[in-house]
Amino acid sequence: MPATTPRLRATLTLPLLASATIGCTPDPVATDLDSWYYGLSAVLVENASLAHEVQEFAADIIKARSAGKVSAEKTAKNLRKTILPAAQQVSEHAGAVRPLTPEYQALHDELAAVWSDRAEAYGNILVAWDEADADALKTGMDRVGDLRIAESFWFPRVNAVVEPKGYRFEEFPKTAPTPPTD
């Protein structure tokens, strides 16, 4: 067994300690991506719940229409009490999980803008409904449809950026992923 001197041991040990210490320092970009992923995933669960509410709302209107019993008051109430507040909440919560890294900020801001514009469009639909303005109602509904398409295009584009780093945003998650514990 070869003998080592204290100096040789120090020469071998210091680079190992230095590399181990450097390796333990968290990467701020990776930490930001991690925070953004888990924060936005929770907002995506809220967004999926909103999508479900909108589907139920549309189904109720179709059912009422086929029965000849569409209630303008009930429709406006549902928009005012359920759909609009949920859309506003998703938009607000998206702002609370905005990442710090410019690359991720740009990606996040695109989706946050879609959600903000959607909340505004639902508000415009409600105003149009209250004012019985069929043209403004159609414009608002078309805008929500366009925003839904923009939202769906966001996921494959962003996932192409984050999947190589081990992340994937789900468009309609039932639950938010749980961060790993240390």
Q: Which CATH number belongs to the domain containing residue 110 in this structure?
A: 1.20.120
Give the residue, 153 or 3, on which the prediction is more confident: 153
Residue at 79 is within a domain: yes
Burial (Cβ within 10 Å: 0-12, 13-18, ≥19) of residue 112? buried
Residue at 170 is within a domain: no
Confidence of residue 43 (pLDDT cuts 50, 70, 90): very high
Alpha-helix runs per DSSP H in 1-133: 6-24, 28-66, 72-78, 84-96, 102-130
> What's the pLDDT at 3?
52
Burial (Cβ within 10 Å: 0-12, 13-18, ≥19) of residue 111? buried
> What's the pLDDT at 27?
76
The mean pLDDT value for 143-172 works out to 97
SS3 67: coil
- Per residue in 94-124, pLDDT tens? 999 999 999 999 999 999 999 999 999 999 9
Which range (2-6, 70-74, 121-125) has the least confidence?
2-6
Residue at 5 is within a domain: no
Residue at 143 is within a domain: yes
Domain count, the chain: 1
Residue 71: which domain range? 28-165
Residue at 129 is within a domain: yes
Give the residue, 181 or 22, on which the prediction is more confident: 181
Residue at 1 is within a domain: no
Residue at 151 is within a domain: yes
Distances (CA, A) of 149 to 74, 114, 154: 28, 10, 9
Residue at 182 is within a domain: no
- Mean pLDDT for all residues in the chain: 87
pLDDT more than 70, % of the chain: 85
What's the whole-model pTM score?
0.81
